[in-house]
A = this chain, B = another copy of it.
Amino acid sequence: MTRIADRPSDKTVAVLTLVDLATGAKREILRAGWIDQLRRIPGSEAWSALIDRGEGVQLYRVEPDGRVAPIIIHPATVRFGEVDGWLLPGFAHSPLGIGVKAYSWSPDGLWLFYILLDAIRPERGVQHDEEIAEQRGMRRPRGQATASLYVRAADGSIQLVAKRPRSDLRSIFSKGDVNWSATGFEYVLMDAEEGGRQRKRTMAWSFAEKRSREIGSTVQVASWMLPGPRGGRLTAEGVGGSREIVETDQNGKRYSYGHFPFSIGHGAGFGGFRTADGRRAIVNARTIEDPRYGIAVIEAKGLRTIWGKASLIQCDFTPTLRNGACIAEGQSRPPSIVTIDVDAGKVEQVASVSDQHDEIAPLEVTPRTWTNRYGHKATGYVIWPRHYVTGRRYPAIVITHGYDADQRFAVQENQWEYPAQVLAERGYVVLLINIPSSRFNKDLHDADRAWATERGLMPPEEMRKLLWLTGVASFETAIQELAAAGVIDRERVGIAGYSRGSQLVNVAMTQSKIFRAASSGDGAYLEPVYEPDMPESYRAVFGGSPFDPKFLPNYLALSPSLRTGEACGAILQQVAAPHAGAIDFYRALRAAGVPTQLSLFPGEDDSSDETHIFHIPSNRMAAMQENLAWFDYWLKGERDPLSPSASRYAEWDRMRDAIPARCRADERTGA
């Protein structure tokens, strides 16, 4: 299944393609607004999937010849996405009406577990206290719904397993995670408790009794669980250059398979597989340096790996785990379909995924690591301009989204609207840089934990350094090394990043003088305006409220909008909604005379917004073109009369001419 931009409808559409692994022949069998949870129906040649064919997301059966027949159709009254009445926010998809949320087939294909959602129209009445307070930072009003869990027998009879409130996030988020057995299945519910906590209840449904009882909570029910050959759970432990792969059984007994230069169990790859007889388990693996994905085969006798030319992801295997198929892709390698011979450890290419991309001669990409002045190591890649000429100094652009730079091809989580390859074609040296990973360093690990658990275990100045400034320092180190090597022109360096990356961009532009231009994508965490909406998170970072004189200095030391007097480079912010934090940063930059632009990419209609990762093709295109125009203007002094941004050049000229005296080039020698 691929998701592609359909230009005429300006929608992202899902395309289901059948590939003959023997011949590599491809055949498109289905095209729909949404396809998800595509699974083989046990004991048949057909698949099932959640598909939006115009009446909301429902469960269908898909035959190999592309014929589609309904399995479960339920009125789609519940909305997912950045839309009024949302039940869950959207991740790079347009607003969806959901009828069937999740499902699972029993291994024999006789039983079907599924979850239906029903919107609840709340009574319109006076609201009190927390009901109101939770709307403070909420742009789109949230809806209410129930989730109903059902099981269908082979004879078509249906039992209601449970009806759950919205507060049961496990059921609302479910992808159909159940453990099937001969007598029933196990599943998990979450109960909301006082203080916002959730209590997990593991339940077992009995086919015979037609009811559930609660069972011990040590039972693991999750699609991402990694079963080992010994019946335990596989994990990768440790910090630094290697990991210990360990299997832990239900009694807590540990068995070590040894130390390896990779970890296991990353979501980007695939979950865990285990043969029925337990002789073999397969999990995905990710190398620590030059991060790429492969396959770890674990048997009682030990662990071995299968690697492709770049990364192997989204693998699936036959029940015996003898044969499989994956997507293979890398930084300079467009996705293709490969088959895996597990016994032989062989990877063989079968078909390309995108013929258009295969036509482009790959750019040269070099994996790199850099150690910054704090002693922290960062991984990443240098993408070289086509026809790179040694000795010539090139403009450069750093792109970051935290930790997502690895051996994959144009991954949106890393590049978002920053087309690294196009920038390289246009003569930029592009650096995809991960910030120093907490898996390398104990201090970073502790800072990450303090942030994630929202407990102030570390002083704000340490948090600032370990979560943001060390990232900026890594970018500086990378730039300095390439400038010292005569590769790049340090007066023409830009930076781009979205979400976690936008934090780093905004901090970099208000703490470092090294960047002349920046593009910051849809993120404004660190702005004081959000403190009341996430006080615990901000307490972990800043110590407390910005209105407490004790903690205000911590904001003045980090919040980008409070440091615009330190900024000089031109800053573009691209946002999916009019975020208050982004507006505050924009206004503060304007007040300080720093060139800046705020660009909002709208949703489908008045009742919805573009998603955090854009899903509307024209928005993605417009954002990419704007980034090209922005960097070309500020770093290369180039303007393109055909760019959609051409109408903005006069404003950019005005801002360039009005740059404050403290920022003028002749005063930047200390940069």
Contacts and interface: CB of A to CB of B under 8 A. Distances in A.
A587 B132 contact: no
A447 B125 CA distance: 41
A539 to B, nearest CB: 12
Contact of A597 (B128, B578, B599): B128
B529 A599 contact: no
A662 to B, nearest CB: 19
Interface residues on A, range: 35 or more
B132 A575 contact: yes
A534 to B, nearest CB: 12
A529 B598 CA distance: 21
A133 B626 CA distance: 19
Residue from A84, A133, A562, A586 whose CB has the most chain B CB atoms within 10 Å: A133
A600 B84 CA distance: 19
A572 to B, nearest CB: 10
Interface string A121-135: 000111111011101
B132 A602 contact: no
A532 interface: yes
A124 B601 CA distance: 9
Number of copies: 2
A85 B597 CA distance: 25
Interface string A582-621: 0110110000000001111110011000000000000100
A131 B578 CA distance: 10
A553 to B, nearest CB: 8
B124 A602 contact: yes
A120 interface: no
Contacts of A549: 549, 552-553, 556
A402 interface: no
Interface string A558-590: 010010000000000001001010011011000
23 contacts: A84-B606, A85-B606, A124-B602, A125-B602, A126-B599, A126-B602, A126-B619, A126-B626, A128-B648, A132-B575, A132-B583, A132-B599, A133-B578, A133-B586, A133-B598, A135-B578, A136-B580, A136-B583, A136-B584, A547-B559, A549-B552, A549-B553, A549-B556
Given A126-B600, A128-B648, 4 more contacts: A126-B626, A132-B599, A528-B547, A532-B584
Interface of A: 84-85, 124-129, 131-133, 135-137, 141, 528-529, 532, 546-547, 549, 552-553, 555-556, 559, 562, 575, 578, 580, 583-584, 586-587, 597-602, 605-606, 619, 622, 626, 648
